[in-house]
Chains A and B, each alone.
Chain A
Amino acid sequence: QSVLTQPPSVSGAPGQRVTISCTGTSSNIGANYDVYWYQQLPRTAPKLLIYDHSNRPSGVPDRFSGSRSGTSASLAITGLQSEDEADYYCQSYDSSLSGYVFGTGTTVTVL
């Protein structure tokens, strides 16, 4: 089951800024476990977008940024582009479940 809660969908016009929230608990994000974000384009495997809350792997545009506060995290996309249309998932580790947990997923639509 998904332990981290995300909004089902967000949308924005090209060039705009959108944010995706990821709400956890004191046994995952609030327990200081690292937060990761993944982008899943249609019919493809997920791709790592953000690691350790706010760092971008090589090759990920700086339009993508991550942050964490308390038991929540968020992903921001600035200068929205049509190729950003995808599903986005947050992920962390949960000490109560002794396992890795994903967010419920958010579909980004570019209007």
Chain B
Amino acid sequence: QVQLVESGGGVVQPGGSLTLSCAASGFMFITYGMHWVRQAPGKGLEWVAFIRYDGINDYYAHSVKGRFSVSRDNSKNTLWLHMTSLRAEDTALYYCAKDFREYSYPGGGFHIWGQGTMVTVSS
């Protein structure tokens, strides 16, 4: 079955960096765009980043643009989120999610979600 497993979360100091990973299985990873979505403790959902199925284009929320970078390796069915200049407000549970449609451009929704990995930014 379709499965997404995130890893790499932890506690990091303000200004620090962290890289999250998402291992995908059970579907044709190479044909789907992938997202990162986060949820701060007790708060709602916030889209963070999207990378197209071919990895050529990536898109970011204004709150993370210039600090976060999304990448993928289609040969390893793996997605990453590289986070730098971390702030307290980046503290959240980070989910990776599979786009709803194959070969999609920005504009759709999130079909399958992982269980998330927690990032805490604190001194």
For the complex formed, measure the closest distance between the CB of B100 and the CB atoms of chain A, giving whole angstroms: 6
**Segment of B16-24, B71-79, B80-88, B112-120 in the binding face:** B112-120
For the complex formed, measure the closest distance between the CB of B25 and the CB atoms of chain A, giving whole angstroms: 16
Interface residues on B, range: 20 to 34
User: Bound complex: CA of A34 vs CA of B105, how far in Å?
Assistant: 13
A100 touching B47, Cβ below 8 Å: yes
A45 touching B95, Cβ below 8 Å: yes
Known: A38-B110, A48-B110, A48-B111. A99 touches B47 (CB 8 A): yes
User: Bound complex: CA of A44 vs CA of B112, how far in Å?
Assistant: 13
Partner of B115, one of A36, A45, A100: A45
Known: A45-B115, A91-B110, A93-B108. A102 touches B100 (CB 8 A): no
Within 8 A of B (CB), among A28-82: 33-34, 36, 38, 40, 44-48, 51, 57
B109 touching A105, Cβ below 8 Å: no
Which residue of the partner chain A has the closest CB to B112?
A48
For the complex formed, measure the closest distance between the CB of A39 and the CB atoms of chain B, giving whole angstroms: 11
In the assembled complex, 10 residue pairs joining A and B whose CB atoms fall closer than 8 Å, in A order, are A34-B109, A36-B100, A45-B114, A46-B110, A46-B113, A48-B109, A51-B109, A99-B59, A99-B61, A102-B44
